[in-house]
Amino acid sequence: MAYNILIVDDSPAMRRVVKRVLDLSGVEIGQELEADGGRDALTKLRSEWVDLIMTDINMPEMDGEELLLAVRQDPMLASIPVLVVSTDQSETRVKRMMEIGADGYVSKPFTPERLSSEINRLLGGGEGVVGGGSLDAGF
């Protein structure tokens, strides 16, 4: 089964890095969609089916917390797993995001193995299933 993934981050560089981890994760990818913020993400979510949302928090206009709330409040989107990928490692933030419905939280900096493990877990591949290309050589 090929999965559609939406990557939400206002940093084009970070979106490229996440895409690279996805490509090396062993998960069969259908489409890798990108959004540069919460509003852009919602627009894309309402036109394409997505199996996993990976989102940053600190983004202009609509941040990751607002996006997550909007997703969980929309019956058409509420069941989509959401993985938060953020520089904010504070207990307050992590707790808040999990309380409002995030399914996982990976803080930056991250190792490709860590991010890949979470992706596989949320897509039903079990814990730490890493296949395909080598992640040991880094990104």
Partner 1 sequence: MLASDFAQLMPDGCSAVLENMFFASVVDVVPEQSAPSLSDEAYTFGLRFSEDYCGSFGLQVDTKTAAFFAASFLGEDESDLTVESVKEVVGELANMLCGSVMSRANSKRKLVLSHPEPLESAPLAEAQDFYVVKLETDCGAVTTWISMEQTPVAA
Chain residues in the site for partner 1 (CB under 8 A):
10-14, 16-17, 20, 58, 60, 86-93, 96, 107-111, 138-139
For residue 48, which amino acid is it? E
CB of 17 to partner 1, least distance (A): 6
Q: Which is nearer to partner 1, 34 or 110 (CB)?
A: 110
Give the helix ranges, DSSP H, for the chain: 12-24, 38-45, 64-73, 91-99, 112-122
Q: Which is nearer to partner 1, 7 or 93 (CB)?
A: 93
CB of 88 to partner 1, least distance (A): 4
| Whole-angstrom distance, CA of residue 40 vs CA of residue 97 | 20
Q: Which is nearer to partner 1, 60 or 124 (CB)?
A: 60
CB of 52 to partner 1, least distance (A): 21
- CA distances from residue 138 to 72, 78, 101, 110, 113 in whole angstroms, order as listed: 34, 34, 30, 11, 9
| Whole-angstrom distance, CA of residue 30 vs CA of residue 50 | 10
Q: Which is nearer to partner 1, 47 or 92 (CB)?
A: 92
CB of 29 to partner 1, least distance (A): 17
